């Protein structure tokens, strides 16, 4: 595979690659000297326009960390790990898998793909699960972030992806940000929003229980209660209808089910909505009129929308708002879910999901199944697989063995005490990662994989853009590229492969996935940034979806969504609402960022944000250590007293294993997408 290098003084070469953190997909050069990365530079002609956030500038710091796994490990009876050879590791894994498959059936084994690994690695893992093992028990951490996006937008539009491109937001008249904190989660996207406001006069509406940084630039800030998103959006849509601001021509020509939807909004009067959301009725009306009158209005959201028991309904409500105002299928509009990981979009695209084949093709469609069976030379499983949360709930029962690639559920799952108990009930756990994570520490076999700087392949960013990842430095010790590990598992399991290099895998993906049909290895290695759908090798890619009202499903479908109270509400014993989120200097479960000295200098310890009124009520001082408890667990953590959070609500960033917010969170699920309700649960706080 070609590598873009520039020789400089001191024999330093620059290797262009893709940032391993959020879904923006910034392009950067790794500065390499003597097989070590010594720095980073941004690429100018890319989505990041020559800029990087603090995580991008420091994305190399974990690569050479002494904690890196360098050889396969086997857990001994006393809990310690012993280094073993790759041959021994493969023999143990395959022997165990075949034993369980024979004794309990293929659905006794499950796999977790990874939003931090490449498209090719996730494609191979889901193929191994389906072809070699014979199960659809394959999922990835999109289940914990954007599963409602896929479910909801497929229902409404026919395609479950961000509809518009990143750059387009700069030219929107109105930008509605709800349930997202872009300055911390997607800084280079936030930069474009701020640029739109300050330089181009865009109006910004921000809805969030916390006064996030972006609220400082907002025309209207709506501090709504956690779990009240449907009521808020329904209330805005009723105002738009009451003032005849709907796009009647768009609705009549390109949508269906409008009249039933319209009738469902009757009860969402401003007074009713204000009581549910805690937002002044006048502010809600002002926001609705601003959005309804815009020529081009863009909706931006993230996990503040999806991580609820009504996550799918939240997404559908935003789809309704876009269709109601005709803000879909044209530039600088749309419904734009921001993906939290570098490749959460791609992991879903390539089929690391339990209910669809690569390219979101139905495993229940006879023609599709026949095509894949002929291509893969196998008989596909016919039963839907289990999701991440269902797999963990079934650990030690239906699920006997679990293979986890590049994920850390011992920090990322809700109700962690229960998660730990269930994972320890597994007969056999394999973890493939680059560090001995909290999950790897309880595994039976640990396989040393590759970081983004030691592999080749592609990531698909939040705007559906497929971008190259290039190898810059050698692997440490006996570690292997993740796709090589899976390839070797195939071959040792008796399944012959013809993959010579990663380009062969990408080309196979293009053959079996219509949305990637034109995204070939030949094009990508030239440095083309192609957005799917791309139906053939001469197609330039698709800037925005559903152009001219041509929805993927035919017509856009309005849906009826009503406010539903969260699964757990405050009570006398647990009087506060806990909501969780991310911060700028950390990423996911911190397996990478806690090994970055620069980032840890900024965010060395966990904290809980508390409103001054609640701090006074519970006798808590700023900086004091406190205990936060729910019915599921408790943590000790430092209090930060701030008026950026509403009274009655506390906020904890969920990254820190040493004070894991997910020891407190509830494992109630959205019934359709099976995502946990991370954003709302009841807690109490006690000063120490």
Q: For 365-422, list the strands marked E by DSSP.
A: 401-405
Q: What is the reported pLDDT for 8? A: 54
The Cα 529–Cα 606 span in angstroms is 38
Residue 472 CA, chain-centre distance (Å), reads: 26
503-513 confidence digits (pLDDT tens): 999 999 999 99
Task: Supply angle C-alpha 141, 147, 151, rounded to 5.
Answer: 155
Q: For residue 310, what are the CA distances in angstroms to 139, 145, 231, 247? A: 20, 13, 12, 27
Measured CA to CA, the distance from residue 481 to residue 504 in angstroms comes to: 15
Three-state secondary structure along 141-187? HHHHCCHHHHHHHHHHCCCCCCCCCHHHHHHCCEEEEECCCHHHHCH
Q: What are phi and psi of 250, to 5 degrees?
A: -65, -45
3-state secondary structure of 406: coil
Strand partners, 337: 301
Angle between helix 311-324 and 147-156 (nearest 10): 40
Determine the Cα–Cα distance for residues 85 and 63; give it in Å rounded to an integer: 23
Would you give the DSSP letter of residue 474? P
In angstroms, rounded to a whole number, what is the distance separating the alpha carbons of residues 294 and 307?
A: 29
| pLDDT for residue 142 | 84
- pTM of the entire structure? 0.96
Positions of the chain with pLDDT lower than 50, given as ranges: 1-7, 9
Using one digit for the tens of pLDDT, what is the confidence trace for 622-671? 999 999 999 999 999 999 999 999 999 999 999 999 999 999 999 999 99
Domains of the chain in sequence order: 73-144+342-463+474-520 (3.40.50.740), 163-338 (3.40.228.10), 576-687 (2.40.40.20)
Question: Is 500 exposed, middle or buried, given 0-12, 13-18 or 19+ CB atoms closer than 10 A?
Answer: exposed
Q: How many CA atoms lie within 13 A of 366 on its CB side?
A: 0
Instruction: Compute the distance between CA of residue 44 and CA of residue 28 in angstroms, rounded to an integer.
Output: 9
């Amino acid at each position: 595979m070609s590598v873009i290098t520039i020789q400089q003084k001191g024999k330093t070469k620059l290797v262009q690659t893709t940032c391993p953190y959020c879904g923006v997909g910034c392009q950067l050069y790794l500065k390499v000297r003597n097989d070590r990365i010594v720095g980073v530079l941004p690429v100018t002609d890319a989505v990041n326009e020559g800029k990087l956030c603090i995580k991008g500038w420091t994305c190399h710091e974990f690569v050479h960390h002494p904690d890196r796994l360098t050889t396969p490990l086997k857990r001994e009876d006393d809990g310690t790990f012993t280094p073993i050879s790759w041959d021994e590791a493969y023999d143990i894994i395959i022997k165990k898998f075949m034993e369980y498959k024979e004794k309990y059936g293929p659905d006794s084994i499950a796999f977790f793909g990874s939003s931090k690994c490449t498209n090719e690695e996730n494609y191979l893992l889901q193929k191994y699960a389906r072809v070699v093992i014979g199960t659809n028990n394959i999922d990835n951490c999109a289940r914990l972030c954007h599963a409602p996006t896929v479910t909801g937008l497929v229902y409404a539009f026919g395609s479950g992806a961000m509809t518009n491109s990143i750059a387009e937001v700069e030219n929107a008249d109105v930008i509605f940000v709800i349930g997202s904190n872009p300055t911390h989660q997607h800084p280079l996207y936030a930069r474009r929003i701020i640029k739109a406001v300050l330089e181009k006069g865009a109006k910004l509406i921000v809805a969030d229980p916390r006064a996030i940084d972006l609220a400082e630039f907002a025309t209207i800030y709506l501090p709504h209660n956690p779990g009240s998103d449907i009521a808020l959006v329904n209330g805005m849509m009723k105002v738009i209808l009451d003032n005849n601001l709907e796009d009647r021509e768009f609705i009549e020509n390109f949508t269906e089910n409008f009249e039933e939807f319209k009738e469902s909004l009757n009860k969402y009067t401003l007074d009713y909505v204000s009581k549910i959301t805690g937002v002044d009725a006048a502010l809600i009306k002002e926001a609705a009129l601003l959005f309804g009158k815009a020529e081009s209005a863009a909706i931006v959201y993230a996990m503040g929308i999806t991580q609820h028991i009504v996550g799918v309904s939240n997404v559908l409500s935003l789809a309704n708002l876009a269709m109601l105002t005709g803000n879909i299928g044209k530039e600088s509009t749309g419904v734009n879910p921001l993906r939290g990981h570098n490749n959460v979009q791609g992991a879903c695209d390539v089929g690391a999901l339990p209910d669809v084949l690569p390219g979101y093709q139905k495993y229940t469609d006879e023609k599709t199944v026949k095509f894949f069976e002929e291509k893969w030379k196998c008989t596909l499983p016919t039963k839907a697989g289990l999701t991440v949360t269902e797999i963990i709930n079934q650990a030690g029962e239906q699920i006997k063995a679990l293979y986890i690639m590049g994920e850390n559920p011992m920090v990322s799952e809700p109700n962690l005490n229960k998660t730990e108990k269930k994972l320890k009930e597994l007969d056999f756990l394999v973890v493939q990662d680059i560090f001995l994570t909290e999950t790897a520490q309880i595994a039976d076999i640990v396989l040393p994989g590759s970081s983004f700087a030691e592999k080749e392949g592609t990531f698909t960013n939040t705007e559906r853009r497929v971008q190259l990842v290039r190898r810059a430095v050698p692997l440490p010790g006996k570690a292997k590229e993740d796709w090589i590990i899976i390839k070797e598992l195939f071959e040792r399991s008796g399944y012959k492969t013809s993959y010579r290099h990663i380009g062969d895998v990408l080309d196979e993906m293009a053959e079996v996935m219509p949305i990637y049909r034109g995204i070939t290895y030949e094009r990508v290695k030239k440095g083309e940034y192609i957005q799917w759908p791309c139906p053939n090798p001469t197609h330039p890619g698709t800037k925005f979806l559903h152009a001219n009202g041509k929805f993927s499903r035919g017509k856009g479908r309005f849906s009826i969504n009503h406010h539903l109270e969260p699964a757990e509400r405050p009570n006398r014993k647990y009087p506060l609402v806990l909501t969780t989120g991310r911060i700028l200097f950390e990423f996911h479960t911190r397996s990478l960022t806690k090994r970055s000295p620069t980032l840890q200098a900024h965010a060395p310890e966990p904290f809980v944000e508390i409103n001054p009124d609640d701090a006074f009520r519970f006798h808590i001082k700023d900086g004091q250590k406190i205990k936060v408890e729910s019915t599921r667990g408790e943590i000790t953590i430092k209090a930060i007293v701030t008026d950026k959070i509403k009274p009655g609500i506390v906020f904890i960033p969920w990254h820190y294993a040493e004070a894991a917010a997910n020891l407190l969170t509830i494992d109630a699920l959205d019934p359709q997408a099976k995502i946990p309700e991370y954003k709302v649960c009841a807690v109490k706080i006690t000063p120490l």
